[in-house]
Amino acid sequence: MTDLASGLTGQTIFVTGSSRGTGVAIARTLASHGARVVLHFSASPDKARTLASELGEACAGMVQADFATPGAAPQAWREATRIAGGRLNGLVVNHGIFDASPALEDYDTWRTSWARVLEVDLQSAVDLMREAANAFVDTGTPGALVAVASRAAHRGDDAEHPAYAAAKAGLIATVKTFARAWSGRGLLAYAISPGWIDTEMAPQGKDARARALAEVPLGAMAAPEEIGRLTAFLLSGACPSATGATFDVNGASYVR
C-alpha cells in the first residue's frame, strides 16, 4: 500500500462542486486511494447520482446546497457530517462561479454581480472552512482542508471578472490565516491555484482555445486529474509542513 493510500484509507472527505469537471476528478482520485467522499451538487442531482453510482461504497452520500444562498454552507457541512456518521476528516472547497462583474456597467448591476460572486466564491467557502476549523481545532480529532482558488488571485483577471479574482485572493488569504492560527492545533490548510483546467468551463472554440493556450508555456491546459492527484497528496498527510502553502498548477503561465 502506498503512503498516499495509507493516509487516505478510512478518511471521509466532503468535496464541494463535485458533480462535474474538476470536482469529479477530485472525488474519483480520493476514492481510488481509499477515502470515502461526500459529494455536493447545487441544483440537478443527475450527474452527482451518476458519479455516486460509479464510486459505489466509496461514496458516503450526497448533499444538495445552493451556495448563492446565505447560510447554505454551514447547513451543508452539518448534513455532510451527518452522512459521514458524525465525523468528517477533510474538506475540499472546489465550488465556484465565473459570472461577469464588469466595472463599466451601471452601479446597480455592478453591486449585484459582485454580491453574487463574493457570496458563492468567497463567503460560502470561508463559511465551510470555519465549520472545518470548529470541527478540527483543539477537539482531538484533527483534519485538513484544501481550497481550490485560481491563478487570477495572484495576477488578476480580465475586465469582466474582477469579483472572481478578488474572491479567489480572499480565499487564499483565509487559507494562510487559518494555517498560521491552527496548524499546530489540529487543522492543516492548503490552497491550489490552477490556471486553465481542461473542463467544460475552459474555452471551447478553436480560436478561443488557441488564445488561452498561447499564454501557457507548457502548451496544454491542466487535466482535472492533476488537481485530483495534488488534492489527494495534500489530504493524505504526506507533507504536513506544507500547510499554509499555495500550489500553482498553470503550466508556467504565471510564475511567482
Asked whether residue 154 is assigned to any structural domain, the reply reads yes
Q: What is the pLDDT of residues 110-125, one digit of tens each?
A: 999 999 999 999 999 9
Asked whether residue 185 is assigned to any structural domain, the reply reads yes
Q: Is it the case that residue 68 has pLDDT exceeding 80?
A: yes
Asked whether residue 169 is assigned to any structural domain, the reply reads yes
Asked whether residue 254 is assigned to any structural domain, the reply reads no
Residue from 107, 164, 190, 254 carrying the catalytic annotation: 164
Overall domain count for the chain: 1
Asked whether residue 194 is assigned to any structural domain, the reply reads yes
| Cell numbers found for residue 226 | 492533476
Residue 13 near residue 60 (C-beta atoms within 8 A): no
Integer Cα distance of 85 and 30 in angstroms: 18
Residue 73 CB partners (closer than 8 Å, separation 6+): 65, 67, 123, 124, 125, 127, 128, 131
Residue 61, class by beta-carbon neighbours within 10 Å (0-12 exposed, 13-18 middle, 19+ buried)?
middle
Looking at every residue in the chain, the average pLDDT score rounds to: 95
Integer Cα distance of 140 and 83 in angstroms: 21
Predicted TM-score (pTM) of the model is: 0.95
164 is an active site residue: yes
Average pLDDT over residues 69-88: 98
CATH number of the domain enclosing 83: 3.40.50.720
Average pLDDT over residues 45-66: 98
Domain limits at 127? 3-249
How sure is the predictor about 223, in pLDDT bands with cuts at 50, 70 and 90?
A: very high
Q: What is the pLDDT of residues 127-168, one digit of tens each?
A: 999 999 999 999 999 999 999 999 999 999 999 999 999 999
